[in-house]
Amino acid sequence: MKTRYFAGWLVDLVRQAADPRVSVQTFAQLGYEDQPLGLVFEYGDGSRLWVQIVGTSPDGGERPDKLTDHPAGLEPAPTTPTGPALAMGELEDLLVGLVEKAGHPDIRTVERYDGRYGFKVVFTDGAGAFLYWLGPSRKGGTAPEGRLYYHDRK
């Protein structure tokens, strides 16, 4: 699975889970076009948690043709969250649980980081998607300054 398809698939999982405490949008949906591989989780009080997704190459650097791509246009509309913000560990538990429960055939393992929030997903081709918690922002806030990773920046 390519990292960008994983990101869309994860958005689908979160929206389909319909947890009333959280909604999700991509960085691109919020106007971060030069770094679209990230998710913003918003809570009922309007606060946000910014999560960057960074992909790695598969074993040997080539992707097999047999891997599944995420079909475009299936994402349900974002919901308006209610209730208090989730602690960073609670959001991690929610996301890891959704990914593991979904049992996608292109996902080999889900590995939590030791000592920090976030996790890594390893695909069957050896590629990976690293999810890093960049930090929170207040209601309507922007991405934490200086924390975004620009992999294609020229």
pLDDT at 82 over 70: no
DSSP SS3 for 5: helix
With contact defined as beta carbons under 8 Å apart, do 14 and 97 qualify?
Answer: no
| Confidence grade of residue 20 (pLDDT, cut at 50, 70, 90) | confident
For the residues of 63-98, what is the DSSP string, one character each? --TTSPPPPTT-PPPP----SSPPPHHHHHHHHHHH
84-99: per-residue pLDDT in tens? 667 778 888 989 999 9
DSSP SS3 for 6: helix
| Angle in degrees, 0-180, between the axes of helices 88-102 and 3-17, rounded to the nearest 10 | 100
Can you say how many angstroms the Cα of residue 56 is from the centroid of all Cα atoms in its chain? Answer: 15
